[in-house]
Structure 1
Amino acid sequence: MNRLNPATVAIIWMLGTLSSFTLMAIAGRELSYTLSTFEILFFRSIVGLLVLSVLINYKGWVLIRTHKLSTHVVRNVAHFGGQFGWFLGLAYLPLSDVFAIEFTVPIWTAMFAVIMLGERMTKGRSIAILMGFTGMLVILRPGIASIQPASYAVLLGAICYSLAYIKTKSLVGTDSPLSILFYMTIIQLPLGLLPILHEFSMPSLGEWLLITVVAISALTAHYCIARAMQLVDASVVVPMDFMRLPLIALVGFLLYSEPLDWAVLVGGCIMFLGNYINLQSEKRKLSNRMPG
């Protein structure tokens, strides 16, 4: 892989990202037939904690030191809400709908960045937000189609994810990636356990296998996209990430006989275009600041 140019290597890493997100969605859909959303999140945290403990034991427990425990708590309560909405959507909505609504995360992230971090509302960000809302309306079609309650859950989940991303931004400067992932599993584990204590039961072997797929694919998805971003600009990575939408639509059609909804694809394309315009605007702004 070292002999390949950076763009080609980045594409390979993004293929890993797409495959990971797809596997996680399929495993989550299969688990939704027998487990509640809280059970999926709780048992996923257990597997994730085991995997991370092995890695941290190998690399050194000093890596999980933090002076921002309260920020970790806020981040992971929000992230748990995002995951809950996402997995709940997998149980009741077409897979493509879940992924399309999830792509509203950059809209909310941009708004939170202005409100909470004091970042400027640039022209590019304004376009991204406007086109993001337009794409969302095309997908949800209020007043034309009957909006399922699960759609609102996924949308609220996307808002929670964006808040978690804002909090992550304040952690990456001082805490290691392993530390962020470790506290994610530690904090979210009881959040998933408390609601299921009254009807707790151990998963079957088949369910454990699917839970393991969900836990590991979640880790590999974010690892692969981080590696891709180390090699090429975000303006290259984001368009590849949006390939998740047509891919998951095809998977839903082939595995679950879900109809290919033109509104979902059109709305996703509108949101993608808005994000791409914003990325190009940010790229030009950074170029103008560079000396020479």
Structure 2
Amino acid sequence: MAPVLRAAVWMSGSIASFSAMAVAGREVSVQLDTFEVMMYRSLIGVIVVCTVAAVTGAWRRISCAHLGTHALRNLAHFTGQNLWFYAVTVIPLAQVFALEFTSPLWVIVLSPLILGERLTRMRAVAALMGFAGILIVARPDMAGINAGVVTAASSAIFFALTIMLTKRLTRTQGIMSILFHLTTMQLVFGLVAAGYDGDIAVPEPAVLPFVVVIGVAGLLAHYCLTNALAIAPATVVVPIDFIRLPAIAVIGMLVYGEIVDVWVFVGALVIFAGNYLNLMSETRKTQ
């Protein structure tokens, strides 16, 4: 199988997993708040990661170095994921995904401060295109701005912080070590946030399958995405990932009867163009 086709197969798994997590997140919101969702997701993640580590003998690759960076990374991801789970319950799923796609552009803006990387002219253009896309998707007037739009856009910033801190960790840490600290630390965050009032809801039988879907799909989505990036260049993988937007729009229409404004797709196209132009520019530099 050709590398591009193999990457497309892996990305189909990522797209399906992210879409399943969005639908499951909306379904469990009738009983669980976002903190409880994150707590149960992390618990399932701990079970999966520890099982894999035990079966494969990967325990020796789990390091306790750089715990401060791990904590910052996981706090950023925990915050961003909570905002994302809230957003999927109050605005159309396609709008959430369109705003989430601005994460790479926030990386461009913030990386000079966090990673010490240079802000080139093309990176600046890509960032400006991304912000223009946000304005098109959100349409900042009294009708367009609401809590769902604000939380979805904010989640992209925290996901960008997660990406940059992950990049810093990968210089010294392996994927198993990062996943172990991801799941264990976020389980603690979830327990504290969900249990501060002394009341943690137990999923009812009708909701439990969706909780399991969230836990498994969350790990599977990133696993598939990582494998796709290992096989094919980002300039190939990113356009495939944007298939998530029309896919989730169709799911939203079929499952929830959502009517998606055409401007969501126009804004997403501008965001995609900014991402893709930056990727093309970065690829030429490394050739």
TM normalised by structure 2 equals: 0.96
TM-score (norm 1): 0.94
CA contact 1:124–1:279 (8 Å) conserved in 2:
no
Amino acid at match of 1:188: Q
Give the partner amino acid of 1:98.
Answer: V
Deviation at 1:280, TM superposition (A): 0.5
2:3 pairs with 1:16? no
Deviation at 1:146, TM superposition (A): 3.5
Runs of 4+ in 1 over 3 A off after TM superposition: none
User: What is the CA deviation profile of residues 239-265 of structure 1, one whole-angstrom value per residue up to 9, with x for unaligned ones?
Assistant: 000111111111101110000211111
- The residue identity in structure 1 corresponding to 2:56 is K
Any residues of structure 2 matched to 1:36-47 within 5 Å, and which?
36-47=33-44
- Find out whether 1:258 has 2:258 as its counterpart: yes
How large is the Cα RMSD of the aligned pairs? 1.2
2:130 maps to which residue? 132
Deviation at 1:27, TM superposition (A): 0.7
| Displacement of 1:144 | 5.9
CA distance in 1, matches of 2:227, 2:52: 18
- Which residue pairs with 1:279 in the alignment? 279
Q: Secondary structure at the match of 2:207?
A: helix
Q: In 1, Cα distance between the equivalents of 2:74 and 2:192?
A: 15
Question: Could you say what secondary structure the match of 1:222 adopts?
Answer: helix
Deviates further, 208-217 or 233-242: 208-217
1 CA distance for matches of 2:237 and 2:173? 24
Q: Which residue of 2 aligns with 1:72?
A: 70
Which consecutive unaligned segments of at least 5 residues does structure 2 have? none
Percentage of identical aligned residues = 42
In the TM superposition, what is the alpha-carbon distance from 1:117 to its structure 2 partner?
1.4
Equivalent residue in structure 2 for 1:93, among 60, 79, 91? 91
Aligned to 2:114: 116
Match of 1:34 among 26, 31, 34: 31
Partners of 2:32 and 2:201 within 8 A in 1: no
Aligned to 1:223: 223
What amino acid is the match of 2:244? R
Partner of 1:214: 214
Preserved contact between residue 9 and residue 228 of structure 1 (Cα < 8 Å): yes
Q: Which residue matches 1:107?
A: 105
Deviations 1:120-154 (A, max 9, x none): 11122112101000000001101263411121112
The 8 Å contact of residues 10 and 228 in structure 2, kept in 1 or not, is answered as yes
